Amino acid sequence: MTAFRAAFKAYRMHQVLILPRFARLTIALGLATAVFPVDAEYYFNPRFLSNDLAESVDLSAFTKGREAPPGTYRVDIYLNDEFMTSRDITFIADDNNADLIPCLSTDLLVSLGIKKSALLDNKEHSAEKHVPDNSACTPLQDRLADASTEFDVGQQHLSLLRSANLCWQNGSRLCFS
């Protein structure tokens, strides 16, 4: 019986040693095959757009979030989600080349119902309380406090969001007309 006990004890010891080896092997294989997500930049080969190998198109601006190149677009202009007019508006790229800035003249903003005095009182653009001609392509929030613009390229929809500094209106007749 002692031989049987010795054999059983050896078998039991062998099983105890195998389990940690198997567990270590499983962990090592799990770590070796693990895939971790990486934020990589998109790249589109510009040669797909042209047959000429020497001519290449710079597509870097589109990979940084901008949906359209700078230029003039026929857009529907909305002020506080109310359609105002359709105009040709020139857009330029901002400083970090990520967004488009609409070039809105003072005359256009006044025709949309924004008080001219609100634009002229902004002293960041000039010490003489006068908006220079070259400031037409500055962001609207720099010319008018608490204002913002949103441009939807697909819809050709330019939204100007501003609640104060609008000219007062008589309102609309709803009940007693």
Domain ranges of the chain: 68-161
Is 60 exceeded by the pLDDT of residue 159?
yes
CATH for 68-161? 3.10.20.410
pTM of the model: 0.55
Question: Structure tokens of 79?
Answer: 């002020």
8 by DSSP, 3-state: which?
A: helix
Percent of residues in the chain assigned helix, strand, coil, to nearest 5: 35, 20, 45
Q: Do residues 107 and 120 touch, judged by C-beta distance below 8 A?
A: no
- Calpha distance 151→65 (Å, rounded): 13
Percentage of the chain exceeding pLDDT 70: 59
Where residue 114 falls among pLDDT bands split at 50, 70, 90?
confident
